[in-house]
Structure 1
Amino acid sequence: MRRNPAPGDDNRGKGWTRLRSRFLGDRRGSTAMEFAMLALPFALLVFAILESCISFAGQEVMANVTDDIARQLRTGQLRPADVAGSKLQNMICAKLEIIVAKNCPGLLVDLREYPTFADAATASFKIVNGDIVLTQGTNSTSFGVSPGLAESRNMLRVFYKWPVMTDFMAKSMANLKDGNTLHFASVTWQNEPFDN
């Protein structure tokens, strides 16, 4: 049985069609819509570039500081008494504070003398459960500061747990606990024949 349309049913269908065609045909907000669709990926890309650049700059500053301290040790400007205890770490931190947080949280320093360069070549480190573990051959060692005298072979290793600020970058950059990534610098040398 066929129903007779109520007066106004026909107009309601036409009104909806007109409203839909007006909405789809109106291009006044298209720029705002395109911007909204592209703003988030663009912002993520900009933050990723900034995070990578700042991290790279921090790594370069740390490498330069490590080279500078090693040169002073190699030439005898710095003696074992000058770097004993936490003095070496404080010296490195003072130069790093231009780009890292005050008091250098996450800075670790290892300086030691080796009988030969071959022995120094066996010194390594690994990351175990998000922590840095120093190794000498197959044995684990602890961080320490024990530089040699004139004509000794030494290695300075500097580690910094760099915080990754951008959450979405932390998944790809972080290799340590608490969303940090490792910055590392190392210098191996033989001291000059200065007076002990």
Structure 2
Amino acid sequence: MSNEFVSTGDRTARRARFFARFAGDRRGSTALEFALLALPFAVLVFAILESCISFAGQEVMANITDDIARKLRTGQLRPADVAGDKLKTMICDRLEIIVSQDCPNQLDVDLREYTTFADAATATFKIDNGNIILMQGTNSQPFATTPGLAESKNMLRVFYKWPVMTDLLSQSMGGNKTLHFASVTWQNEPFDN
């Protein structure tokens, strides 16, 4: 008997038997389960790794910021030692252990003297189209490197645009960078100017 003359009922019965055999066959279930779980597992692993590396970078940057602030506070670093791009270079040299070689282009540093701690407390920043805008009250300010002399009050703020390495995470975040930020406020010790 050829397939041309098989009734519709026979075709339906054959199809039902085929799907029943397919559903009852457990030989490929492990491969199928692995295929279904491989992508979510890989995404989870990459997200964990990305978060750990980013956190380590943030902590290294915060430690460097604290160390440079301590050296400024005790007079080991003087205004001439951090003038121009010297401060940025000093930070990038120490961040080199964990960040890319494009550090100077991704790093923004603001070091300035304040008359009181209350003035320093009003210093904020906002992000506008990926750009960092420093604010003092309601006024915007440019980045500066103007440390004070002995017994002055100072604030060091360091911003690093950390690259997100995993494409899937950068797409979900709406960009390929996240901002790392560290800040230290202190009063210099009475060292010789």
TM norm. shorter chain > 0.5: yes
Equivalent of residue 191 in structure 2, options 187, 191, 194: 194
**1:177-188 equivalent positions in 2, closer than 5 A:** 178-188=175-185
Tell me the equivalent position of 2:39: 40
**1:1-196 equivalent positions in 2, closer than 5 A:** 9=6, 13=11, 16-104=15-103, 105-171=105-171, 173=173, 178-196=175-193
TM-score, scaled to structure 1: 0.88
Post-superposition CA distance 1:55-108 (Å, at most 9, x none): 111110000000000000000000011000000000000000111001413100
| Paired letter, 1:150 | A
TM-score, scaled to structure 2: 0.89
- 1:169 CA drift (Å): 2.2
Unaligned runs of 5+ in 2: none
- Residues 147, 23 of structure 1: alpha-carbon distance in 2 compared, 3 angstrom cutoff: same
Unaligned runs of 5+ in 1: none
- 1:128 CA drift (Å): 1.2
| Paired letter, 1:182 | L
Q: Percent identity?
A: 72
How many pairs were matched up?
Answer: 189
| Paired letter, 2:101 | K
CA distance in 2, matches of 1:162, 1:34: 36
1:158–1:185 contact (8 Å) kept in structure 2: yes
Secondary structure at the residue paired with 1:124? strand
- 1:167 CA drift (Å): 2.7
